[in-house]
Amino acid sequence: MSKKEENRSRKGWKRYLPIVIALCFVAGGALLVVKKKSTDTAQQSSVQTLPELGMFDRNKRCAVPPKFLREKGVSQPVLIDLSQKKYTGVALLYGRNFSQVYHPVQWERFGHLGTYAADDQGNLFLVPMPFISIRPTTFALQKNIYKIDTTTGKLSIFMRLDDVYPSANNPYGINSIVYDCDDKTLWVSAIDESDYTHQKGVIYHIDPQDRSVIGKIEGVDALSLALIHTDTGKYLLVGSARENALYRYRLSSTSEAQGPFVVLQIPAAEERIRKIRIVGKSTLELQTIPFSYALIARSVDKDRRIYRAAWDSFSKTWKIGEKR
């Protein structure tokens, strides 16, 4: 397909955790328990889209569990709970039926956290998520990337982005993160300067070795991020904070991003993709929430939905069904 045709397709669309550590981590966020026998609903939706994403399978993970877990007597498997239901910040659930909890009080010092990424050393990088109400420290906390050190288990500010400016009109700052196993970098999104009519979000490409910003994608409001390898290349997937759509940027060997181009659109117009998981051959699992740049309440849990999107190479469409 030509560049012109791609741009035409993109403009047409423009209108409109459980995370189980079992020798490795799966990038995610709030606590979600995946039921083994969950099934897709009978209702299916097909969305025509560009085929350039290509065929793919589950990515090989490079992340490993933090080293401090063994010293603290935390056995595998472990659920990383960022749901904010019972514990502020982050908690690790383990043991039989995940009934035991590892949650140092020190992990509460930076307030609510939304998603995380694990690297190949076992470090956890986390980003904030404001809930319920605004405190005097809320805006400052949304400017930081946080880190739980693999050796000590200490939670601290890893990096501060001083050009992120949350406000009472939009309390969100840094809001999503993913670790790139290929070049050992981080991709981080922020939506602080956006509002209902202006999309001014930024995706930052960060080198964690020297804590420097090595690139930016500007003018995109990303509520979620994921990296994927397909038979046509490497892509950064973006769940839009403004639309019920999933976009992709093609990454070159120098990690320069080309895009965005639409991948698919979920059926519910009012929902936004909060989490992206690659669960099988040309199959994605998308967790959605209502989102309107206002504070997220804890009750949003009951409004979460999970969709399974499978690419049908014969019909050249995504088959999208809600999981029950």
CATH: 1.20.140, 3.30.2130, 2.120.10, 3.30.160. Which one for 3-37+58-224+242-269? 2.120.10
Predicted confidence band of residue 122 (pLDDT cuts 50, 70, 90): very high
* Average pLDDT of the chain, as a whole number: 83
Q: What residues does 145 pair with on adjacent strands?
A: 159
**What was the pLDDT predicted at 83?**
83
The CA distances from residue 310 to 45, 171, 263, 278, in Å, are 11, 35, 12, 10
**Residues 6+ away with beta carbon under 8 Å from 111:** 88, 89, 128, 130, 135, 137, 138, 141
With a cut of 60, say whether residue 66 has pLDDT above it. Answer: yes
d(CA 321, CA 114): 26
d(CA 86, CA 99): 13
Predicted confidence band of residue 5 (pLDDT cuts 50, 70, 90): very low
Strand order from edge to edge, sheet including 124-128: 113-118, 124-128, 144-148, 155-160
With a cut of 80, say whether residue 274 has pLDDT above it. Answer: yes
Please give the model's pTM, rounded to 2 decimal places: 0.82
**What was the pLDDT predicted at 38?**
36
